[in-house]
Structure 1
């Protein structure tokens, strides 16, 4: 995982890449939704498993992904809030989505 300003961090999954892009383009806060990073209800994805030919993550892959996010959490100076309903990520503060949105609306109202 690089720290160079001209490079996008890589974490092995599209969710990590999305966070990396948000940070790269100057996000002041990132809210995670649907970042399970675990088997939830026996499924490998929130939408259910992919067909066999598309591939599905193995348990070790989830461990790798969580480790990469933990490294990102230590390096980031931007608040990253995990508002996912079910999650294996414990490296970011947790917040209910409604509370997170209400907090954002209040902060936005104060800024104007």
Structure 2
């Protein structure tokens, strides 16, 4: 009876019950609407504040840019960029592979 976003947050909470030092999240916002994505964003930030390291695999680039201290970008299994969000969002290979023309400005405005 839970919404999809609530189920995603429950999955994260269940993983946290084991008191991990590293939390691996594979596309936690996939299939979520904007409100659910924002709730997951807040939850991940709160978890990170407790000292748990988070490894996030996510295609929602705005979410990645908001949450990440360091980003490693893969394209077809090969690393094409690594660094902080500002650096990665300006990398021509990242723009070509993931962001598309004109998207970098939007990321900076929201990130």
How high is the TM-score relative to the length of structure 2?
A: 0.43
Bigger Rg over Cα: 1
Q: Greater RCO between the two (CA within 8 Å, min separation 6)?
A: 1
> Which structure: greater strand fraction?
2
TM score, norm. by length of structure 1: 0.42
Higher helix share: 2
